[in-house]
Amino acid sequence: MTIPEYELIDHTGDVGIIVRAGSLAALYEKAAAAMFDIILDLETVRPERPYEVGVEALDREDLMVRWLSELLFLYEARRVALSRFDVREVSDSRLAAKAWGEPFDPGRHIARTELKAVTYHEMLVSEDRSGPGGMEGAGWTARIIFDV
């Protein structure tokens, strides 16, 4: 598993990240991988079993919260550690994806940070239309705050 690139941001009492990607689908994939990198050591998680995930929302920010919350639910309630994500369909209000992982094994998976929830606080999903050289559609950015 390749550790995703993301930036930790200072946020009192919570954990915040900034994720950047070239496409909207890749942004949601990187956000999921970043969240699991915060939760546990991704390099210890084998992508052995696929899990179908689909969410609907009001807008891109709501979609990000619902997507990450669904994955966090799989981890907390079903004890599934995830390490690979493939967003196959994404729009402003719908996401369909497959995530791969395995049952959580406390003897092998190293827990780092317990996340209680994905919050709407300061949530941002935006397209950067003025990238290098003013290139149209240069990339996407997300700011996500997790309650710890």
The CATH number of the domain holding residue 46 is 3.55.10.10
According to DSSP, the residues that pair with 143 across neighbouring strands are: 18, 124
Spatial distance between the Cα atoms of 130 and 139, rounded to a whole number of angstroms:
9
The domain in which residue 112 lies consists of 21-147
What's the pLDDT at 13? 82
* pLDDT at residue 19 greater than cutoff 60: yes
Q: How many domains are there within the chain? A: 1
Q: What is the pTM of this model?
A: 0.92
Residue 3 counted as domain residue: no
What's the pLDDT at 11? 82
Half-sphere exposure of 46 (CA within 13 A, CB side): 6
CB 36 within 8 A of CB 11: no
Residue 13 counted as domain residue: no
Residue 28 counted as domain residue: yes
* pLDDT at residue 57 greater than cutoff 80: yes
Residue 103 counted as domain residue: yes
Report, as an integer, the average pLDDT of 97-120.
Answer: 96
* pLDDT at residue 116 greater than cutoff 90: yes
Residue 11 counted as domain residue: no
And the tokens for 136? 């149209």
What's the pLDDT at 10? 83
Please tell me whether residue 94 adopts helix, strand or coil conformation: strand
> Would you place residue 3 in the very low, low, confident or very high pLDDT band (cuts 50, 70, 90)?
confident
